[in-house]
Amino acid sequence: MAKITYIEFDGARHEVDVSTGLNVMEGAVKNLIPGIDADCGGACACATCHVYVDPDWVEKTGKPSEMELSMLDFAEDLQKTSRLSCQIEVDDSLDGLIVRLPETQG
C-alpha cells in the first residue's frame, strides 16, 4: 500500500491509501478524487486521467510507453512531468507520491 497525495488545480489536497496492484488513476476513482475523469477506464485510450507527477517522483514512476506518449498528445497543458495516471502502477516504492491535477482533462 502507498499513501498518495492528489492535489487539485485549486490546491485542495487529498491524501489517500492506494493498494499495491492498482494504478494511480484507480486510486483516485476509488477514493472519489475530483479532477480525474478516467473515461476509458484505464485502457490508455484517452487522456482524461492526465496528471503532473511531482518532480521528486518522476524517476520512481518509470518512463511512459510509446502508447502513453501518443495518448498524452490529446492532453491539454502538457508539462515535462505529465503522465497518464492509469499507466503508473502502485507499489510500496510509491509511498508518498504526489501528483497534481490539471485545470481540465482532455
Q: Which domains does the chain have, with CATH numbers?
A: 2-100 (3.10.20.30)
E strand segments, the chain: 2-7, 13-18, 50-53, 82-84, 98-100
> How far apart are alpha carbons 102 and 12 in whole angstroms?
12
Mapped onto helix, strand or coil, the DSSP state of residue 83 is strand
- pTM of the predicted protein model: 0.95
pLDDT of residue 85: 98
pLDDT of residue 36: 94
Using a 10 angstrom Cβ sphere, with 0-12 exposed, 13-18 middle and 19 or more buried, the burial of residue 62 is: exposed
- 42-92 pLDDT, tens digit per residue, is 999 999 999 999 999 999 999 999 999 999 999 989 999 999 999 999 999
pLDDT of residue 66: 96
- 82-103 pLDDT, tens digit per residue, is 999 999 999 999 999 999 999 9
